[in-house]
Chain A
């Protein structure tokens, strides 16, 4: 009972957009070319919420799309790797200040 009370008080942290972008980029970087549905699973978010974020990243040339048959693979661009490096440097600051700069 005490355990339940304690667990009940734990506030679930809602990821900011920047945190989601970092997670998406990290997953694409670590898995290599990845299909959006698998990316949604690995980034732990619904496919319909992931799609606009991915489209935004593709339009900004942070991710690129490669079509193979009927599948669409997402890949990191050099600009994407550079951005991920910069975002990782300030990850704590972006999270703690809740800065949505992307």
Chain B
């Protein structure tokens, strides 16, 4: 049962990564054609990398899983920071990456701050992504109790679903407004 759950989250993460790469490549094409900055495209590419790390964390074990777990939230935070600061050049956030607790906190806070400024579907989905990281964060304090495992699974589902729906939604052909 656990293997099926892990595999399903991994598949969803891979789809998300592909969609983020598609968004990044389209943004890079636009930037190239107008001679603009590719910062935003890079941000989405970093988000795709976060999805890849999430997949590795799920499918692997031991130190590699631990490293990938931390990398998932750190890369998510980095991606959102690039996107957020590329639209309003106000400040950059320092992203500590020492412990999963810190990285999850940063990811949740970054996504939450970003979602406050975003609009429409992006606002809801980035907020959901933030909730996913908060659940992961809380679960770390409760592990290895069964409540902690349940929260971790819920957090992973929430995070991967929100990230993938976000990527797929904006990657799909868009008709009207």
Residues of B within 8 A of A82 (CB): 33
In the complex, what residues of A have CB within 8 A of residue B34's CB? 60, 62, 83, 101-102
Q: Which residues of A contact B37 (CB under 8 A)?
A: 101
Q: In whole Å, how far is A88's beta carbon from the nearest beta carbon of chain B?
A: 7
Determine the main DSSP class of B at the interface with A: helix
Task: Please state if B26 and A90 are interface contacts (CB–CB under 8 Å).
Answer: yes
Question: What B residues does A67 contact at CB under 8 A?
Answer: none
**With contact pairs A60-B35, A83-B33 given, residues A96 and B120 touching in the complex (Cβ less than 8 Å):** yes
Q: Which residues of A contact B (CB under 8 A)?
A: 60, 62, 79, 82-83, 86-93, 95-102
Q: Which residues of A contact B40 (CB under 8 A)?
A: 99, 101
Q: Are A89 and B33 closer than 8 Å at their CB atoms?
A: no
- Verify B87–A97 contact, CB threshold 8 A: yes
Let me know if A101 and B31 touch, CB within 8 A. yes
Assembly CA distance A87 to B23 (angstroms):
11
Q: Which residues of B contact A83 (CB under 8 A)?
A: 30, 33-34
Q: Can you identify 14 A-B contacts, CB atoms within 8 angstroms?
A: A62-B34, A83-B30, A83-B33, A89-B26, A90-B23, A90-B27, A90-B30, A96-B121, A96-B123, A97-B122, A98-B117, A99-B40, A101-B27, A101-B37
Q: Is B177 an interface residue (CB 8 A)?
A: yes
Candidates A79, A93, A100; contact of B170 at CB < 8 Å: A93
A20 CB to nearest chain B CB (Å): 14
**Given A82-B33, A93-B170: A99 and B86 within 8 A (CB)?**
yes
Q: Is the CB of A102 within 8 A of B36?
A: yes
User: Given A90-B23, A91-B177, A92-B170: A100 and B33 within 8 A (CB)?
Assistant: no
